[in-house]
Amino acid sequence: MSLKQQATKGSDVDERLAALITNSNAIRAIAAAVEGTLGPKGLDTMLVDKFGEVIITNDGVTILTTMEANHPAAKMLINIAKAQQAEIGDGTTTATVMAGALVSEGVEQALKGVPVTRVIEGIRAGVGEVLKQIKEKAVPVEVMDDPILMRVAMVAGREHEDIARLVVEAAAMTGREKLKDPSFKLSDTVTSKEGADNEVFMGLIINKERLSKHMPGEVSNGKVLVIDDALEPEEIEDEALATEAGFARYQELQQQFKENLNKIIEIGINVVLVDRGVDSYAEEVLTDAGIMVVQRISNKELRKASEHTGARPIKRTGLKKEPTDLIKYIGQAQKIYEDEKLEHIRILGGLGKPMATVLVGAATEEVVGERERIAKDAAASVQASVKGGVVPGGGSLELALAREVEKVRENVRGMAAYGVDCVVEAMKRPFSQIVANSGFNPLEKIGDVTAAQIKEGKYSLALDCDTGDVADMFELGVADPALVKLHALKAAGEIAEAILRIDTIIKKKEEIPNNSFDKEFDERNF
């Protein structure tokens, strides 16, 4: 019997449960959209827009954020997935599947007559116990050459060995201290390009070309000036320009601009990176001086270029400074050149903060986009492993913790125990879905693995998805970052609680603009 049939059966079911069931169905639909991608045998999803543009992906957050979803509860779940992606960079599918399971189990208990507040109380207790257990069982990664990092990259990178090696090498280049920096994301170092060869290097890419082909295409021992502005004369209002004083001011600004360009040349700057546009006169002067200029660089890339070269960004008004002061704003790099085939600029060996770049390539736009998503997931997982350690994957840990959560029941008051049961069932869900996606019977395999875990006393036992046999995930090299598990379960618990607490859905009235209301009021009363 479906949830909807149960809710409408007899008068004993409170009508207020209708809102809960409506929201639950929306959550289950979203979870169903991504659960088929879970595990090593998970399949891809094709997303098609109205213009026929296609995305083929196995990435949970890409599916969730690209699919059409109009239900408010569905949007809430998608927002949780976005938060998981922003915080950790991986685990969105796990968070979504767990949330769907928690909500479904919670609604089942509510339909049996358990007060929703007691269900929520039990879910909180169960989730809290699981979070504590995951932290205790996390195995720290002490050194950057630990083989487990390669295995984590392989799992998160869907067994793409070439991508996994690039990511692990980039992590080693970046260093443990930088990876633990909360403001740094290794996944941001990943970029992709059609026709590119896979590589990792110390430096960064700016996805722009030099302003003119007559400028040098390669600069050694680069002295870099970063202009966080336009490289143009200061502007003057048209009204002011019509006056004698305004025209005089215009001529003064033009002369000042020419002097500023001469200062750039005199102090030996040979690369200028500009946030916005470049004046045609400046282009001509700097081309003649043999200076490479790159314009309209994204704010993110410009900031990274500043950090890597050690340059201090400057506004156009700052170019008035004396040459001795301007020198303090200059950054340096061993080599800066334009890759004409890939149509981008590379900055290598900056004297500022070291940065690694992972470049992945493929033959077509659709494939290269998916390979970039795979590499970003792998990078995020490797960084999370360095920060918080690893746990066995394949759903093994969740299955073991389901038994630990059952013990919490003894210390929970009254009907809140039914909320604990929701967590127990939800913890079994990732393993069941991985098994189902691999073509095996989940009920049979849960029994086999549970019995083996109890017999051998090992929480790392799960299913070898190739053979269907019980296997040790650590021995197979199947490991997940503990932080991914922690944040996924925390996010799932939060969204489940938020959805279960809603017992009424009310449509907001449409607001009438003030001016329309005033006009209507005037017409009625005068």
Same domain, 331 and 422: no
Distance CA 224, CA 292 (A): 10
Same domain, 241 and 314: yes
What would the DSSP string read from start to end of 173-185?
Answer: HH-HHHHT-TT--
For position 301, which CATH number holds?
A: 3.50.7.10
Contact 336, 222 (CB under 8 A): yes
Same domain, 226 and 271: yes
pLDDT value of position 516: 54
Nearby residues of 261 by Cβ (< 8 Å), 6 or more positions away: 281, 282, 285, 286
* Dihedral of alpha carbons 260, 263, 265, 268, sign: negative
As for how many domains the chain has, the answer is 2
- Using DSSP's 3-state secondary structure scheme, residue 344 falls into strand
pLDDT value of position 14: 56
CA 369 to chain centre: 14
| Tokens matching residue 321 | 């400074």
Domain that holds residue 330: 201-362
Distance CA 22, CA 8 (A): 12
The pLDDT tens digits along the chain (526 residues) read 555 555 444 444 556 678 888 888 888 888 888 888 888 888 888 888 877 788 888 777 788 888 888 888 888 888 877 877 777 877 788 888 888 899 999 999 988 889 999 999 999 999 999 999 999 999 999 999 999 999 999 998 888 999 999 999 999 998 899 899 988 899 989 998 888 889 999 999 999 999 999 999 999 999 999 999 999 988 877 776 677 777 788 888 889 999 999 999 999 999 999 999 999 999 999 999 999 999 999 999 999 999 999 999 999 999 999 999 999 999 999 999 999 998 999 999 999 988 899 999 887 777 888 899 899 999 999 999 999 999 999 999 999 999 999 888 888 888 999 999 999 999 999 999 999 999 999 999 999 999 999 999 999 999 999 899 999 999 998 999 999 899 989 988 988 898 888 877 777 777 665 655 555 545 554 4
For position 480, which CATH number holds?
A: 1.10.560.10
β-sheet bridge partners, residue 293: 272
List phi, psi (to 5°) of 248: -65, -40
Indicate whether 104 belongs to any domain.
yes
Helix (H) and strand (E) counts for the chain?
21, 14
Same domain, 235 and 332: yes
Distance CA 282, CA 494 (A): 55
- Using DSSP's 3-state secondary structure scheme, residue 51 falls into coil
Q: What is the pTM of this model?
A: 0.79
Same domain, 228 and 347: yes
Geometric angle at alpha carbon 471, from 469 and 474, rounded to 5°: 155
Same domain, 319 and 224: yes
pLDDT value of position 289: 95
Same domain, 350 and 402: no
Which of 341, 362, 383 is at the close of a domain?
362
| Tokens matching residue 100 | 């769907």
- Of the candidates 53, 434, 36, which has an alpha carbon nearest to the alpha carbon of residue 45? 36
